[in-house]
Amino acid sequence: MPKKVNVICTNCPMGCGITLTVDEKSDEVINIEGNKCKQGKEYALAEYKNPVRVLTATVRTNSLENPLLPVRTDKPVPRDKMKEMMYVVARVNVKKPVQLGQVVEQNIMGMDVNLIATENLT
């Protein structure tokens, strides 16, 4: 018996409600409905098979005026790795100065994902 999985596409402002019909035994997508463009179909497939997100957080600094620095990953990471990655990010401590876009932590968890500053720290 097939199951239905609902996904809201965030690829564009339209926010299409997409329904995937998935075979319960093989976990293969049988049908996709509700997308208004090709990108919506691709997004829904990717979201079902391997959902990814850009991680945003703050890290500690050595600045008394700005004890926290906002950061984000430079590329999306698998959603199931986000919690583990947050534990790693929580241990990051940066020293000023830091420039917007500067890598503050490289190759987090060996995933070829860098943590970059989203603000200047002077």
Amino acid at 40: G
Q: Which domain holds residue 81?
A: 56-117
Buried b (16+ CB within 10 A) or exposed e, 18-34: bebebeeeeeebeebeb
Q: Is residue 9 part of a domain?
A: yes
Q: What is the mean pLDDT of residues 87-92?
A: 96
Q: Is residue 75 part of a domain?
A: yes
> Whole-structure pTM over 0.85, yes or no?
no
Q: How many domains does the chain have?
A: 2
Residue 1: pLDDT over 90 = no
Task: Please check whether residues 84 and 32 belong to one and the same domain.
Answer: no
Q: What is the DSSP letter of 10?
A: -
Q: Is residue 122 part of a domain?
A: no
Looking at every residue in the chain, the average pLDDT score rounds to 95
The H-assigned helical ranges of the chain are 38-49, 82-89
Q: Is the CB of residue 66 less than 8 Å from the CB of residue 117?
A: no
Residue 18: pLDDT over 90 = yes
Q: Is the CB of residue 48 less than 8 Å from the CB of residue 23?
A: no
| pLDDT of res. 118 | 98
Task: Please check whether residues 109 and 60 belong to one and the same domain.
Answer: yes
Q: Is residue 24 part of a domain?
A: yes
> What's the CATH number where 65 sits?
3.10.530.10
Summarised one tens digit per residue, pLDDT across range 37-57 is: 989 999 999 999 999 999 999
